[in-house]
Structure 1
Amino acid sequence: MNRRTALRRLLYIAGGALLLPACYRQSGKATIEMTNLEIEEEQENLLAELVETIIPSSDTPGGKELLLHLFVLKMVDDCHNPEDQKAFMEGIVAFSAYAHEATGQDFMEMDADKRLAFLEAIPEVADEQVKRFYAITKRRTIQGYMNSKYVMTDLKKYELVPGRYNGYFKMT
C-alpha cells in the first residue's frame, strides 16, 4: 500500500469520526444551548411552526427558513428577566393546550388558513399566559426578521447618513 493512500484514508476516517457526533441529534433536546430555559424538541418545533405562520415563506424566505424560532429562544433566554422567561415557558404549554382545546387539533396539525385564523383570534382570548407568550414571540420574531441577514442585505437599501448632495434641488 502506498503511504499517501494510507494517510489519505486515515484522514477520511478521522474526519468522519469527528463529524459523526455532529450529525447525531439526541431526540427530545433543543437545537441550541440555553442557560435559563428548558425547551424540549416538541416545543421548539411548535415555536418554529408559529414563527412560520407569523412570517410565511413566499418569494422571500419565511420565519422557519431564517431560523427565527432559534432567535426567539435565544433572545428570551438572554435578554428577558426571569418573570418573562417563566411566563414564556408557561405560555408555550398553555398555547399548545389552548390550540388543542379551541380547534380540536394540535397547532402543528392545522393547515395554514386555520393557523392564521387561530392567531388572529388570540387577542380575544381570556388566558393571559397565551396572550403574553404570543406577544413575546411575535415581537421577537419581527425583530429577528428585520435584523436578519436576508433583510439587511437584500431588502433594505441604505444611504450613508449625510446622504447625497443635490445641488440642483429646488426650494419653494
Structure 2
Amino acid sequence: MNRRSALKNLSLVLGTTALPNWAYQWNKQSLPAFQGPNSELLGAIVNAIIPETDSPGAKTIGAHLYIERMVKDCMSQEDQQAFQNGLQKLASWANKNYQKAFPLLSSQEQISLLTSLQNSTQPEENQFFKRLKGLTIASYLSSEYFLTQHRNYTMAPGFYHGCVPVQ
C-alpha cells in the first residue's frame, strides 16, 4: 500500500472526527466571546488611527477584534491590565473633556485626544499609545484586504518560478 495515501486518508478521517460541531461556520455573530466589553471603544480608536477613505478603515477590516485577541492571548496579565487601564483612561478623558463617550466624538476630537495621549509625559500613557498604534498597523498590514489588494499576495503554497523578474 502507498504510505503517502494511507497517511493522507488517516489524517482526513481523524481531522473530520476531531473537529467539533461548533467549529463550523465561524463568523463575528456566532462568536460573541471574541468581542470584549471594550470592543466599541477599541473600534472607534482604531478607526481614528486608520480611518475609512476610498479603502476600508481599520474597524471595517476588524483590527479591533485582532487587537482584543492579541491582548487576551499574547500578553501577560500585567500587560493586559495596563492595556485595559489605558483604554479606561482614554474613555475617562473623553467624558471629562467633551462630556461624551469616545465613539460619539467627532473625528477631530478623537484625534486631539489620541495626540494628547501620544505626547503625554506619563510613560505608561505613551507606552499604551505606542502599543495600540503598533497593533493597529500590524493588524491592518496583515489583513486579507491589504495583502490581496495592495501587495501581490497569493495564498500559500504558491508556485516556485525560478528565473522571473521581481515586481
TM-score range (shorter-chain normalised) is: 0.5 to 0.7
Q: Distance in 2 between matches of 1:121 and 1:162?
A: 51
Query: Which structure has the larger Rg?
Result: 1
Aligned partner of 1:44 in structure 2 is 39
Q: Distance in 2 between matches of 1:163 and 1:138?
A: 39
Aligned partner of 1:60 in structure 2 is 55
Q: Secondary structure at the match of 2:113?
A: helix
Q: Secondary structure at the match of 1:61?
A: coil
- Which deviations, in whole Å up to 9, do the C-alpha atoms of 1:69-128 show, x marking residues without a partner? 000000111111222111011221111112222334321221112212221222233454
Aligned partner of 1:100 in structure 2 is 95
Q: Distance in 2 between matches of 1:55 and 1:143?
A: 12
- Which deviations, in whole Å up to 9, do the C-alpha atoms of 1:9-55 show, x marking residues without a partner? xxxxxxxxxxxxx96x9xxxx93348xxxx32xx2101000011111
Aligned partner of 2:21 in structure 1 is none
Residue identity matched to 2:80 = Q
Q: Does the 8 Å CA contact 1:87/1:132 hold for their aligned counterparts?
A: no
Q: Select which of 65, 69, 79 maps to 1:70.
A: 65
Tell me the TM-score normalised to structure 1 length.
Answer: 0.66
Aligned CA-pair RMSD: 3.1
Q: Select which of 110, 116, 126 maps to 1:115.
A: 110
Q: Does the 8 Å CA contact 1:92/1:130 hold for their aligned counterparts?
A: no
Q: Is there any run of 5+ residues in structure 2 with no aligned partner, and where?
A: 1-27, 155-159
Report runs of 4+ in structure 1 exceeding 6 Å deviation: 159-163
Aligned partner of 1:164 in structure 2 is 164
- Describe the shift of the 1:165–1:62 C-alpha distance in structure 2 as closer, same or farther (beyond 3 A): closer
Q: Distance in 1 between matches of 2:58 and 2:116?
A: 21
Q: Does the 8 Å CA contact 1:46/1:107 hold for their aligned counterparts?
A: yes
Q: Distance in 2 between matches of 1:161 and 1:130?
A: 48
- Describe the shift of the 1:54–1:163 C-alpha distance in structure 2 as closer, same or farther (beyond 3 A): farther
- Describe the shift of the 1:114–1:33 C-alpha distance in structure 2 as closer, same or farther (beyond 3 A): closer
- What is the aligned residue count? 135
Identity percentage of aligned residues: 25
Q: Secondary structure at the match of 1:65?
A: helix
- Describe the shift of the 1:165–1:126 C-alpha distance in structure 2 as closer, same or farther (beyond 3 A): closer
